[in-house]
Amino acid sequence: MEIFLTFLGTIAGMLAALFSWLGFDLSRKLAERSRPCIGESSWSSERDCYFVTLKIFPGHYFVQTKSIEVPGAELSYVRKTDFGKLHSGEFRSILPYTVSVPVKADIVEIDFCMRPKISAPITIKVNLAKDEKPLEYIVFADPNDAGTN
């Protein structure tokens, strides 16, 4: 009888460990899906740079952006005028850009200027506060071919 109960306890412990691991894996996948994401981008080509607008769709929890970076490019702030868009400030490899992305809110837009004009694929990385995993957006179509990707 002791052997049977030992065997039964071992099987029950293995099943508990399996279900615990499955629950952890499911919660990790749900947390990843609840993050905000960059869903669209708009590109307009001016002289020697691109004016980029990223649309961040909110997730199930509040985040705040910290900076934007594009490998191989320099970024600058954008100022909107009556005549269009102008870049404002110095060009930097990492652009400090703080925007709040609240829960269940409207789409948040981020505008910046990028130079030089590089060809696709372009990876845009939006770093988040609190050392959270950054949002990455990859543009596969060449921005020179179309106005919107």
Query: How does residue 149 score in pLDDT terms, banded at 50, 70 and 90?
Result: very low
pLDDT band, very low/low/confident/very high, at 10 (cuts 50, 70, 90): very high
C-alpha atoms less than 13 angstroms from C-alpha of 132 in its C-beta half-sphere: 19
- Residue 120 to residues 17, 71, 75: CA-CA distances in angstroms? 46, 12, 17
pLDDT of residue 17: 93
Task: Kindly report which listed range (10-19, 32-41, 46-55) carries the lowest average pLDDT score.
Answer: 32-41
pLDDT over 80 at 23, yes or no: yes
| pLDDT tens for each residue of 99-143 | 888 887 788 888 888 888 887 788 889 998 888 888 888 888 766
CB 137 within 8 A of CB 112: no
Output the average pLDDT for the chain: 83
| Model confidence, pTM | 0.70
Backbone φ, ψ for residue 75 (5° rounding): -120, 155
Q: End-to-end CA distance of the chain: give it in Å, rounded.
A: 69
Q: What is the DSSP letter of 23?
A: H
pLDDT of residue 82: 63
* CA neighbor of 33 nearest in space, from 56, 65, 66, 61: 61
Which residues sit opposite 84 in a β-bridge?
Answer: 81
Region 13-35: mean pLDDT is 86
Report the 10 Å Cβ neighbour count for 46.
14
